[in-house]
Amino acid sequence: MARKEYDTFILTELSEFPEDKEMEIIVRDLNPEDRRYKYRSTFAIVKISKSESKYPDRLWVRLGRGQLQEQPWSVQIIKEINKLE
């Protein structure tokens, strides 16, 4: 299976961002199977690592104003959450 790619916005200091803990964030799918859903955002429970190879999928991190970080992190999507139910 191909490696999926996501991005997210982080509004805190990167050095203070918790790693390897389950947390709820908003992620955007950058390469969905159906291209009509490109950049679809969803709430998800995830685990994140600053190491690119720790988890199965790639996570591109953007800062508060949208600045893209040079190195990708890795992410494991544990569960997608529907907040509108």
pLDDT in tens, 12-49: 888 888 999 999 999 999 988 888 888 788 999 999 99
pLDDT in tens, 57-77: 999 999 988 899 999 999 999
* DSSP assignments along the chain, one per residue: -PPPEEEEE--S-GGG---SS-EEEEEEESS-SSGGGTT-EEEEEEEEESSTTSSSEEEEEE-TT-PBPSS-EEEEEEEEE-TT-
| Beta pairing class for 5-9 and 23-29 | antiparallel
What's the predicted TM-score (pTM) here?
Answer: 0.86
CA atoms within 13 A on the CB side of 28: 13
